[in-house]
């Protein structure tokens, strides 16, 4: 049974049983405490917690999920995948335990021919929370499960909570027994891979508080509306129904594994370590493809870092399989073909996704090459010092700073006859992960709890009137101070104010929040920010500047009209720039992000190279021609499918409801889904001045522009500057570039002559410095502060000249100087000195430590530097002291 068929049978069954079928939410979640949708319940959290009224009493879905917490388990077990799909059925105050158990058992055990999943009841086991007698008894009465195949387990496995105050409850899990060939007898309680959990039924019935951990809390009482939250792992069911040993061999994943086998020339099933690597490649390529399809792009932080890590682990695994060249073109195409039936976007949007994947692969292959060079240097230094092990700190530096995988460090070191201090490396990794987890927990505690808005959202959605009105009369529904609900706020306090209606725009879609005030009888509030903390609710962060505001009082929102107009100009200009980019570069130049505020806009788009000056001028001209043509700006509210059919552009990663707002500028030329505010005609934008273009990641560019009056002021300032230059240089403005180039060339020539003179003057000091050599132990030492030097190279040349004048005796030269704003020390040794034990690298490092910096290098010549120029004499003394001690 194919994976897609399993999913469709699931949806068909629950639709037949009165459930609303809900499409999968994006992998990118709105929850500020989460990077991704990590479980099927994440999109339903506002309904399950009661923060937002559920739009339906029961629902079912197939939800895309990404979870990397167990990333090291991928490939080792039959069921761990970073991308997976959860089949879920949900009840919001409708049916409870009996209904959930009845539905699950019926779907699982109904024969294939009758539309079910065809599991044999004798292969199924169930666990319940040890104190949940009700669930235990329902399994006995509603099914033909014998008592011995219903096991009671503790909180650590069979009790669900978020780890925060709020809803919680016992759960019941359904397991499939793979048979004695896969492990020991004894049921799920054995925690053996023989028993695969396929479905978890969460009975959300309690309110908890005083949460110390996920399993240490106090139960306040029962929820007024009990909910059902279930999740069945689609990949787990698929590998069982398809008769394969693990999820990596199912129809949606195996094609990537087979392509990796083909590219590597190795055999799957012949070597345990190779098999793990094949499975890692198959999993991570699919996960990367799905993240790209939801608008995530590789970067060094946040979601982009997770995507980058997955891609690089796949590249690393292919390298360990003996493939050092590029493979993503073939691997991603194989994953696309396996997933396109379930998710058509991976085919329709594939050119954009492939562009990011290939660029990231090329970048990391270069990183591997440079990392290999750094590791080679480390190996040479380690061996030269008589060591047998690469230090843990060096391995961690390669991993953390250069992205060089520890597996490759181990492999290359072993080939060189060295080990790696893995314990020290693991300790540093543990420290890093501990810091990250601490930060994540703090962030979760700070941002995740939206229950304070629950009662306010229950009063209804906040009505936004700002598309047509700049002032709106309303009523104060709620006030929060320091996150706590209160009935009033007085002068000087910062508070959140919730109104029934507002004309103030809440930040979204790249457009920043409106500025303005809220006024009422005897009070005035300065609006600092406007946000949507939960869907459908608008919150105003305000400072009470006059009087006291209370719940139930009248309130009028007043938008700063000048700021709003300038923000609208910038937002509409963003749409024009997007259309101009697509006209110039083609449809693959898709939007990846934007920001618009009064007078300024920036626009991020998928593109792999810098734009030429001619291209930037063309984009700017197309956008300003649209301004000149005074195009009509129209908005329509319509069904999402209808808007997409009309060609409306949507922002990748943005979430849209069934009904959307479509903004046209000049008809279909610029047609986008957008909730922002806009000008009425394009001429109101005034002027667009493209002022910047830069890279913001692999295959991602950013353009910036000033808009309206800000654009005019910028151009006026440039005109004044040009006027000043023409006057000062006595050159017509059209000849300024040539004149400035001529002056620049003259300046460079003068600087070159000065540098040559300074280098000669420095070199002339070599005889005198050599004559000042003194005996230190078995060495002749020259240690001198020569004042200043144009460059470190000049100082190095002088040190070598002095060394050469000291003849064949054991000689060490240590010269210090201030180069620019930092102190530098160069140490040079001759062959006799090195034979006697003097190493330039170690001496330079010692001097650099005194200067407050670092250094090192080869045994014959090395450099160190720091930040404290006054310590140069002490640094040179340290070199002499080390030589004397030796």
What was the pLDDT predicted at 512?
94
The Cα diameter of the chain in Å comes to 103
**What six digits make up the tokens of 535?**
């869907």
What was the pLDDT predicted at 167?
84
pLDDT mean across residues, the chain: 89
When pLDDT is cut at 50, 70 and 90, the band that residue 839 belongs to is very high
Which helix (H) or strand (E) segment holds residue 103: the answer is helix 97-109
Which helix (H) or strand (E) segment holds residue 12: the answer is helix 3-16
The answer to whether the Cα torsion of 720, 723, 729, 731 is positive or negative is: positive
What was the pLDDT predicted at 654?
62
**What six digits make up the tokens of 866?**
């720091």
CA nearest to 125, candidates 108, 111, 110, 112: 108
What was the pLDDT predicted at 448?
40
Of 46-55, 253-262, 485-494, 822-831, the poorest mean pLDDT is in: 46-55
What was the pLDDT predicted at 62?
95
Of 67-76, 196-205, 824-833, the poorest mean pLDDT is in: 67-76
In this prediction the pTM is 0.68
What was the pLDDT predicted at 148?
94
Averaged pLDDT for residues 717-732: 88
CA nearest to 252, candidates 293, 277, 222, 289: 289
When pLDDT is cut at 50, 70 and 90, the band that residue 301 belongs to is confident
Q: Is the pLDDT of residue 445 over 60?
A: no
Q: How many residues does the chain have?
A: 886
When pLDDT is cut at 50, 70 and 90, the band that residue 447 belongs to is very low
Averaged pLDDT for residues 65-81: 85
| Gap between the terminal Cα atoms of the chain | 76
Q: Which residue would you say has higher pLDDT here, 301 or 573?
A: 573
Q: Which residue would you say has higher pLDDT here, 90 or 223?
A: 90
User: What does DSSP assign to residue 677?
Assistant: -
How far apart are alpha carbons 445 and 434 in whole angstroms? 16
Of 557-561, 660-664, 805-809, the poorest mean pLDDT is in: 805-809
Q: Which residue would you say has higher pLDDT here, 455 or 604?
A: 604
Which residues are annotated binding-site positions for Zn(2+)?
Answer: 571, 575, 674, 678
Return phi, psi of residue 69, to 5°: -60, -40
How far apart are alpha carbons 615 and 868 in whole angstroms? 48
When pLDDT is cut at 50, 70 and 90, the band that residue 49 belongs to is confident
CA nearest to 33, candidates 166, 155, 157, 158: 166
What was the pLDDT predicted at 402?
65
Q: Is the pLDDT of residue 382 over 90?
A: no
**What six digits make up the tokens of 570?**
């910038």
User: What does DSSP assign to residue 271?
Assistant: -
Which helix (H) or strand (E) segment holds residue 499: the answer is strand 494-499
Contact indicator for 190, 127 with CB cutoff of 8 Å: no
Which residues are annotated binding-site positions?
Answer: 571, 575, 674, 678
Of 196-205, 562-571, 575-584, 600-609, the poorest mean pLDDT is in: 600-609
**What six digits make up the tokens of 749?**
């020539």
**What six digits make up the tokens of 406?**
């520890």
Q: Which of 402-416, 449-463, 845-859 has the highest mean pLDDT?
A: 845-859
Query: How do 501-502 and 516-520 pair as beta strands?
Result: unpaired
pLDDT over 90, % of the chain: 56
What was the pLDDT predicted at 53?
86
Q: Is the pLDDT of residue 446 over 50?
A: no
Burial of 309 (0-12, 13-18, 19+ CB in 10 A): middle
How many helices and strands in the chain, by DSSP H and E? 26, 35
pLDDT (tens digit per residue) in 765-807: 888 898 889 998 889 999 999 888 888 888 888 999 999 889 8
Q: Is the pLDDT of residue 488 over 50?
A: yes
Which helix (H) or strand (E) segment holds residue 473: the answer is strand 471-481
């Amino acid at each position: 049974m194919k994976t897609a068929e399993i999913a469709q049978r699931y949806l068909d069954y629950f639709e037949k049983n009165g459930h609303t079928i809900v499409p999968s939410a994006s992998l990118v979640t709105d929850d500020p405490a989460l990077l991704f949708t990590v479980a099927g319940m994440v999109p339903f959290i506002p309904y399950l917690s009661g923060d937002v009224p559920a739009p339906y009493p029961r629902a079912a879905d197939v939800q895309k999920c990404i979870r990397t917490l167990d990333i090291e388990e991928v490939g080792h077990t039959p069921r761990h995948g970073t991308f997976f799909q959860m089949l879920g059925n949900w009840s919001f105050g409708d049916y409870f335990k009996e209904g959930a158990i009845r539905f699950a058992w019926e779907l699982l055990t109904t024969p294939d021919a009758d539309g079910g999943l065809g599991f044999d009841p004798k292969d199924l086991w169930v666990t319940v929370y040890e104190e949940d007698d009700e669930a235990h008894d329902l399994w006995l009465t509603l099914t033909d499960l014998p008592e011995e195949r219903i096991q009671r387990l503790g909180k650590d496995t069979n009790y669900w909570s978020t780890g925060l105050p709020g809803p919680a409850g016992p759960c019941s899990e359904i397991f499939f027994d793979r048979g004695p060939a896969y492990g020991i007898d004894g049921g799920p309680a054995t925690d053996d891979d023989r028993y695969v959990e396929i479905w978890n039924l969460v009975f959300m019935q309690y309110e908890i508080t005083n949460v110390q951990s996920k399993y240490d809390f106090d139960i306040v009482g029962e929820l007024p509306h009990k909910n059902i939250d279930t999740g069945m792992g689609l990949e787990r069911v698929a590998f069982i129904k398809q008769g394969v040993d693990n999820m990596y061999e199912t129809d949606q994943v195996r094609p990537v594994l087979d392509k990796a086998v083909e590219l590597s020339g190795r055999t799957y099933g012949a070597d345990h370590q190779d098999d793990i690597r094949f499975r890692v490649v198959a999993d991570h390529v699919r996960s990367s493809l799905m993240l790209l399809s939801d608008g995530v792009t590789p970067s060094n932080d946040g979601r982009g870092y997770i995507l980058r890590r997955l891609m690089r682990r796949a590249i690393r695994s292919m390298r360990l399989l003996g493939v050092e060249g590029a493979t993503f073109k073939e691997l991603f195409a194989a994953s696309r073909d396996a997933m396109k039936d379930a998710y058509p976007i991976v085919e329709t949007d594939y050119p954009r996704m492939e562009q990011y994947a290939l660029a990231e692969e090329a970048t990391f292959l270069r990183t591997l090459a440079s990392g290999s060079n750094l590791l080679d240097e480390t190996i040479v230094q380690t061996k030269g010092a008589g060591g047998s092990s690469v230090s843990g700190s060096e391995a961690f530096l390669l991993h953390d700073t250069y992205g060089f995988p520890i597996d490759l460090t181990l492999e290359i070191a072993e080939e060189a006859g060295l080990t790696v201090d893995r314990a020290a490396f693991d300790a540093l990794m543990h420290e890093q992960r501990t810091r990250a987890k601490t930060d994540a927990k703090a962030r979760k505690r700070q941002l995740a709890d939206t229950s304070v808005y629950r009662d306010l959202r229950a009063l209804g959605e906040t009505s936004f009137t700002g598309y047509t009105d700049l002032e709106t009369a309303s009523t104060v529904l709620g006030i929060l101070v320091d996150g706590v609900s209160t009935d009033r706020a007085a002068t000087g306090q910062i508070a959140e104010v919730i109104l029934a209606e507002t004309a103030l725009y809440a930040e979204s879609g790249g457009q920043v929040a409106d500025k303005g005030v809220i006024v009422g009888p005897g009070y005035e509030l300065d609006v600092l920010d406007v946000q949507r903390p939960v869907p459908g609710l608008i919150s105003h962060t305000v400072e009470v500047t006059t009087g006291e505001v209370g719940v139930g009082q009248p309130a009028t929102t007043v938008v700063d009209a000048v700021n709003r107009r300038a923000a609208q100009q910038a937002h509409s200009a963003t749409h024009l720039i997007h259309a101009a980019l697509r006209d110039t570069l083609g449809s693959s130049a898709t939007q990846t992000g934007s920001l618009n505020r009064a007078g300024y806009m920036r626009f991020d788009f998928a593109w792999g190279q810098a734009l030429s000056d001619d291209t930037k001028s063309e984009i700017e001209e197309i956008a300003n021609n649209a301004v000149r043509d005074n195009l009509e700006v129209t908005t329509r509210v319509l069904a999402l499918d209808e808007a997409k059919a009309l060609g409306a552009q949507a922002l990748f990663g943005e979430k849209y409801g069934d009904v959307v707002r479509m903004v046209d500028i000049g008809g279909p030329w610029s047609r986008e889904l957008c909730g922002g505010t806009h000008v009425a005609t394009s001429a109101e934008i005034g002027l667009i001045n493209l002022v910047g273009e830069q890279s913001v990641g692999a295959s991602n560019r950013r353009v910036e522009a000033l808009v309206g009056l800000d654009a005019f002021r910028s151009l006026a300032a440039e005109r004044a500057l040009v006027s000043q230059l023409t006057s000062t240089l006595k050159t017509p403005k059209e000849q300024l570039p040539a004149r400035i180039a001529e002056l620049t060339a003259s300046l460079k020539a003068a600087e070159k002559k000065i540098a040559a003179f300074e280098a000669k003057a420095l070199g002339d000091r070599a005889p005198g410095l050599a004559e000042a050599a003194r005996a230190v132990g078995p060495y002749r030492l020259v240690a001198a502060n020569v004042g200043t030097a144009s460059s470190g190279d000049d100082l190095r040349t002088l040190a070598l000249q002095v060394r050469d004048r000291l003849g064949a005796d054991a000689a060490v030269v240590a010269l210090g100087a201030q180069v620019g704003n930092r102190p530098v020390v160069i140490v040079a040794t001759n062959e006799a000195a090195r034979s006697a034990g003097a190493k330039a690298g170690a001496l330079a490092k010692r001097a650099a430590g005194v200067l407050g910096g670092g250094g090192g290098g080869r045994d014959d010549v090395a450099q160190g530097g720091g930040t404290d120029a006054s310590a140069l004499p002490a640094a040179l003394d340290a070199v002499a002291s080390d030589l004397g001690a030796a």
